[in-house]
Amino acid sequence: CISKNCKAKQIEHLRHFVSRKAFEIDTLGEKILQQLLDRKIVTDPADIFFLEYSDIIGLELFEDKRTKNLLEAIGEAKVIPFSRFFFSLGIRYLGEQTGRDLAKEIQKKITKTKTFDLSQAEKEREEQMTLTFLEEEKPKKEIHYFTPEELGKIIQQLSPEELLEIEGVGQKVAQSIYEWLQEEDSLHFLKKLTEGGVKITKEQFVTNRNPHFDNQTFVITGTLENFSREEAKSLILKQGGKVSGSVSEKTDAVICGENSGSKKTKAEKLGVKIIDEKKFVKMLQR
């Protein structure tokens, strides 16, 4: 399935776009997306933000209340943090953690410098930005959001080499991001999202740095008794750590629950630290 118009590829892109780690529109399940695609109401993810009552009410099993609820959910989803927006784009090699790494660095650059070439309208908004996260001498107005189009322009000004300097961004993903932003279709997509009312907000990544987790990479494997995989991941991120889906020499520790399997075996082979759930809880408590 190589063609951009391949139905399987389109539905996968739509599913990724509305997933919980991206725009989080839970009410847009695969069957609904398939109907919208089949009826040519939606041809790409940006079309979701242009849906109207008349587009939805005719779908299978949709009545007035459900239609209004879906439109409300779509409206609420238009405001999205940097990292989830990056992940939503479906750029090759750009996973959830890389989205977070990229978001952190771009936010720092936007906040600390005024070197980006923005339009006059954007500059007027940019003048309200806080120049540094740490300055607190006087209260300053802070920019509330960027549009997808503005964010695209900012990242376009970074070369593959500059992208590669961002912690967590490897050569493949740096090249992939750079190439994606050179494509006319990508720029049109960002413009369409902007016209659809999407707004990208800044976010706080670490609420409580913990020396046991800070700047360390963890892998979670097996079944934990007191946490779901996502809960454990969220706790690690909030403490300043990172979470990877695979074990490598760069992994600092593997948190193992019941039935850990091959990831634990690989960690032992590489000499990576193994942590059980009891130890994990103690680390959280410092």
Residues 121-172: tens digit of each pLDDT: 455 444 444 333 334 433 444 446 889 999 999 898 888 898 998 888 889 9
Evaluate whether 12 touches 42 at the Cβ level (below 8 Å).
no
Q: Which structural domain, as residue segments, surrounds residue 172?
A: 81-201
Q: Do the beta carbons of residue 257 and residue 277 sit within 8 Å?
A: yes
What are the distances in angstroms from CA 17 to CA 23, 81, 89, 210?
Answer: 6, 14, 7, 32
The CATH number covering residue 235 comes to 3.40.50.10190
Q: Assess whether 41 and 91 both reside in one domain.
A: no
One domain, residues 104 and 183: yes
Put residue 240 in one of left, alpha, beta given phi > 0 → left and psi -120 to 50 → alpha.
left
- From 77, 101, 125, the end of a domain falls on 77
Q: Give the chain's end-to-end CA distance (angstroms, integer).
A: 50
Q: Do 221 and 197 belong to one domain?
A: no
- The verdict on 71 and 85 lying in the same domain is no
My answer on whether 104 and 190 are in the same domain is yes
pLDDT for 240 beyond 80: yes
184 shares a domain with 87: yes
Asked if residue 210 is part of any domain, the answer here is no
In a domain, 2, yes or no: no
Q: DSSP letter string over 191-229? A: HHHHHTT-EEE-----SS--TTTTT-EEEEESB-SS--H
Task: Pick the range with the lowest mean pLDDT from 142-151, 228-237, 257-266.
Answer: 142-151
For 20-48, what is each residue's pLDDT tens digit? 889 989 889 999 999 999 999 999 999 99
* 253 and 194 part of one domain: no
Burial of 118 from C-beta contacts in 10 A (0-12 / 13-18 / 19+):
middle
Residues 270 and 239 in one domain: yes
The DSSP letter of residue 250 is T
State the pLDDT at residue 206: 60
Q: What is the DSSP string of 57-111?
A: TTSTT--HHHHHHHHHHHHHTTEEEHHHHHHHT--TT--HHHHHHHHHHHHHHHH
- pLDDT for residue 54 is more than 80: yes
Instruction: Specify whether 105 is located in the same domain as 193.
Output: yes
State whether 36 and 99 are in the same domain.
no
